[in-house]
Amino acid sequence: MDTHRQIRRIGFIGLGIMGRSMAGHVLAAGHELWVYNRSRDKADELIGRGARWCDSPGELAAACDMVITIVGYPSDVEQVYLGDGGLVERAAPGTLLVDMTTSSPSLARRIAQAAQARDCAALDAPVSGGDVGAREARLSIMVGGDEAAFQRALPVLSCMGKNIVRLGGPGNGQHTKMCNQIVIASTIVGVTEGLVYAQRAGLDPTTVLQAIGGGAAAGFQLNVLGPRIVAGDVAPGFFIEHFLKDLGIALGEAAQMGLELPGLTLARSLYEKMAGRGFARDGTQALFKLYQG
């Protein structure tokens, strides 16, 4: 494999809440950027800033030295990478493929194998830090894959994140992201219940956030999502339907390891109720609605 192929032209697929900001940072760092998204209008702003549009993942792969993707579900990842005329089929030898979607470890391993068979390299590199972290280029990036490919990707990943860690071979980035989601799942339940309790006790929730937000309970869920809960703001930074996707992947992986995770199971059942009531496209902080009866 040509591990020295220089990275000049970068392709970006998936221009949603996360991808739009992340691609913008890559462009702002001075890279040539090619973009593709299921709905074309989401690319308008980037095209206005100099990015070029491609009509398909395959066309984009053929034009680029490195391709970054952050789409929705594992099924989207599979289609974009392994589908007919997809990234793996159309990428030239030496192309570096980096999937930043939260997806399944086993799919990441399949993509890495398929890429290797075409003389390309693939990394799984999911992110944490939310819509705010994407906007401010402060994401944590958890990478699985070959060390040489990681080193090639690092300068570009550094445009989007501050804490970039390689955790071993293909799939381990996704496994690490599952650890992250397992931590978040019980944390958001705790944050929601703490704030519901504050209201019921007649406390001013904003002052409660001030008081506890600098102590041992501090963190993204309390300090960033807590104020959104208090304001009744359910606009999605992170869709409930995507969180449910992640909780399903994590519980599936845990089951394969013979591991029971009751906190995670409880969080999933609460979010399933939310989805059942039509709130799947709200942000995860909307969980407080369940406690309003």
> Any contact of residue 19 with ligand NAP (CB under 6 A)?
yes
**Minimum distance, C-beta of residue 214 to ligand NAP, in the bound complex (Å):** 24
Q: How far is the CB of 14 from ligand NAP (least distance, A)?
A: 3
Of 40 and 277, which CB lies nearer to ligand NAP in the complex structure? 40
If one asks whether residue 101 binds ligand NAP (CB under 6 A), the answer comes out as yes
**Residue 25 is a binding residue for ligand NAP (CB under 6 A):** no
Instruction: List binders of ligand NAP among 185-224 (CB under 6 A).
Output: none
Residues known to be catalytic: 177
Instruction: Supply the DSSP symbol for 86.
Output: -
Sorted by sequence, the CB contacts under 8 Å of residue 173 that are 6+ apart come out as 108, 123, 124, 125, 126, 142, 143, 144, 145, 167
With binding defined as CB under 6 A, does residue 80 bind ligand NAP? yes
- What is the rounded distance in angstroms from the CA atom of residue 263 to the CA atom of residue 79? 32
Closest CA to 87 of 118, 53, 108: 118
**Per rule CB under 6 A, is residue 180 in the interface with ligand NAP?**
no
Residue selected from 37, 104, 172, 187 as contacting ligand NAP according to rule CB under 6 A = 37
For the chain, what's the residue count?
293
Name the residue nearer to ligand NAP (CB basis): 124 or 246.
246
Whichever of 121 and 141 has its CB closer to ligand NAP, that residue is 141
Q: Which two tokens stand for residue 219?
A: 């963190």
H helix runs in 29-146, sequence order: 44-48, 57-63, 74-82, 87-90, 105-117, 130-135
Tell me if 122 contacts ligand NAP by CB under 6 A: no
Shortest separation between residue 1's beta carbon and ligand NAP, angstroms = 26
Among 34, 150, 238, 279, binds ligand NAP (CB under 6 A): 238
What is the side-by-side strand order in the sheet with 139-143? 127-128, 139-143, 161-166
Q: Rule CB under 6 A: is residue 142 a binding residue for ligand NAP?
A: no
- Sorted by sequence, the CB contacts under 8 Å of residue 291 that are 6+ apart come out as 192, 193, 196
> 45 with 21: CB under 8 angstroms?
no
Closest residue to ligand NAP using C-beta atoms: 16
Contacts with ligand NAP by CB under 6 A lie at 13-19, 37-39, 42, 70-72, 76, 79-80, 101-102, 127-128, 130-131, 237-239, 242, 246
